[in-house]
Amino acid sequence: MNLNWTPRVWSQGSADSGDLLSYPSLPELDSFYRELQDVFPRSVALEKAGHSVQGRPIRLLTITDQDIGDEDKQRVLMVGQEHGQERSASLALLELARWLVTPAAAGIRRWQRIGLMPVVNPDSWEDLRFNNVNDVNLYADFSLDREPTQPESRAVSEVLARMQPELFCSLHGTEFGWQYRMGESNGFSWTTSQFDRSHSRLFIEEINRAAESAGFPQDRGEEEAERILPWLPDNIHHSYYSGRRITSCVHAYHRYHTLANTMEVHHPHSGLIRCKRMLELGNQPWRTESVAGYPVRTMFQQDETFVAAYGQSAAERRASRVQLWAHSNQFVIARGVNEPVGMALSAFSLDPEDYDRWRSMEIDSFLQQRGDDMGIDLSDIRALCQRHSRFRSLRCDQIKPTAGTKEGPLLQTASRGLALRLRLPNRSTIRRVWLDGRPLPLSSSDGYESWHTAGGFTMLQVNIPPQDDVGSFQRHFVVTTYDAPRTDLGSRV
Ligand SMILES: [Zn+2]
């Protein structure tokens, strides 16, 4: 590897000097990409991902360790300059590309595949036009049920569809760089602030802190304004200034349950620091998880029950996540009410009709019916539940599932697997676990796992592997018994 290599585009006004009014031309950018690929052919792949209205190519740089297969790699897509004059965003991604080929980023290249589209709106690069030449806001050219209308935004949506990434970042900024007075931010944009939040505030806060500790202050949105996010009708100043457009970030989340981060980047070095911090986090287990990766695995929660993606590799988890997410509007979770500590029962269904069937069903009737439907004897589990007199019926969430704008209610194709999680008191020890009345072994592929989370819970995960028999996949119930240390149940002294 040629460690002394420096891209030519910086020679006329480098980011380090603070002279951010000097930008490379589009031909200079193309030679930067080609040089990067020529010098680091085992790490960098360059392709044309689409084109602009006026036919200019939209480049996609993919950076990963090509000597290692993709099966267990996280996928990341970062796009810049959807808004034409926001070129500081592009410079941040070029800085990131420079860093990603260095030895310091070897661990990131090993475990992640990173797509960079530094210039999404090339027709507006020289003209400093916010929209594209058709006067369409490319960042907001998305909807819940249609494809984008412009070739530039379609290029983004097509790369998203191909990658189904764990992390998607849309970088915004200005042509003025750090000389511009407006603050930088993560996890929202001012024009879509209420609607375009990332689902993980804690992840975003890690990014804010990385930038701040390097001397780049970050705006916290509603935190600074001391306003709540939910829109209160007829009280416009009660909630944080907001828009409700479907942006590329909302699109990525809606389609693929991607962790999406809209970033305002006015200094490329600040953008670089924040992007590096995100990539570092992607190489670690998130606070609720047992394996490394971005926090995108959990798709539904009701009380202490979670629906999560199945899989031992990143690719398996991605396939399960995207499939389950497409059906997430139909999830039904029912859990036993008044569960005694030491025991838990949760039921899951992909059939919205089960909501009305289960919502206040007696647990004994539920078990009897499931046993009849599956043709198995559940008398041991029924006896276990009957020993706890207050443990009587099931309860569902208040929101009844609907078809929404997504796929039909039931899986039509072979399942890609499912993980059901039960969150238990801190430092619990699992005694026994049953899935659909069948005792489960410890197994990360077809059984249960458990771990203690960084936040202080014990997580039980039941792994239900992919099945061709779609019908039997639609409904499951988990029963567990466990020991919880008394000291962790809360002080009653
Ligand atoms: Zn913007």
Domains of the chain: 8-282 (3.40.630.10), 298-489 (no CATH)
Q: Around 472, how many Cα atoms within 13 Å sit in the side-chain half-sphere?
A: 11
- Token output for 256: 């693929």
How are beta strands 259-264 and 167-172 bridged, if at all? parallel
pTM: 0.93
Q: 């697997």: which residue's tokens?
A: 417
Nearest to 189 by CA among 282, 86, 54, 42: 86
Are 457 and 425 in contact by the 8 Å Cβ rule? The answer is yes
Alpha-carbon distance of 96 to 344, in angstroms, equals: 47
- Compute the distance from residue 83 Cα to the ligand 1 centre, in Å: 5
Whole-Å CA distances, 382 to 93, 208, 288, 369, 482? 58, 51, 32, 11, 17
- Compute the distance from residue 219 Cα to the ligand 1 centre, in Å: 15
- Compute the distance from residue 138 Cα to the ligand 1 centre, in Å: 9
- Compute the distance from residue 173 Cα to the ligand 1 centre, in Å: 6
- Compute the distance from residue 50 Cα to the ligand 1 centre, in Å: 20
- Compute the distance from residue 416 Cα to the ligand 1 centre, in Å: 37
- Compute the distance from residue 8 Cα to the ligand 1 centre, in Å: 27
Q: How many residues in the chain?
A: 493
Residues 6+ apart with CB under 8 A from 368: 378, 382
Nearest to 328 by CA among 261, 408, 258, 259: 408
Alpha-carbon distance of 28 to 228, in angstroms, equals: 45
Q: 């705006």: which residue's tokens?
A: 219
- Compute the distance from residue 85 Cα to the ligand 1 centre, in Å: 8
Q: What is the pLDDT along the chain (493 residues), one digit of tens a residue?
A: 343 445 444 444 444 444 445 788 999 999 999 999 999 999 999 999 999 999 999 999 999 999 999 999 999 999 999 999 999 999 999 999 999 999 999 999 999 999 999 999 999 999 999 999 999 999 999 998 899 999 999 999 999 999 999 999 999 998 887 677 778 999 988 777 778 889 999 999 999 999 999 999 999 998 998 998 887 888 888 888 777 889 999 999 999 999 999 999 988 899 999 999 999 999 999 999 999 999 999 999 999 999 999 999 999 999 999 999 998 888 899 999 888 889 999 999 988 889 999 998 999 999 999 999 999 999 999 999 988 878 889 999 878 887 655 665 556 667 899 999 999 998 999 999 999 999 999 999 999 999 999 988 999 999 999 988 766 668 999 999 999 987 655 544 4
- Compute the distance from residue 172 Cα to the ligand 1 centre, in Å: 4
- Compute the distance from residue 86 Cα to the ligand 1 centre, in Å: 6
- Compute the distance from residue 19 Cα to the ligand 1 centre, in Å: 21
- Compute the distance from residue 90 Cα to the ligand 1 centre, in Å: 12
Nearest to 334 by CA among 216, 422, 214: 422
Residue type at 409 in one-letter notation: P
- Compute the distance from residue 87 Cα to the ligand 1 centre, in Å: 10
- Compute the distance from residue 183 Cα to the ligand 1 centre, in Å: 13
Mark out the alpha helices in 226-352 (DSSP H runs): 248-256, 268-282, 314-326
- Compute the distance from residue 472 Cα to the ligand 1 centre, in Å: 47
Alpha-carbon distance of 228 to 224, in angstroms, equals: 11
Residue type at 305 in one-letter notation: T
- Compute the distance from residue 198 Cα to the ligand 1 centre, in Å: 16
- Compute the distance from residue 196 Cα to the ligand 1 centre, in Å: 13
- Compute the distance from residue 11 Cα to the ligand 1 centre, in Å: 27
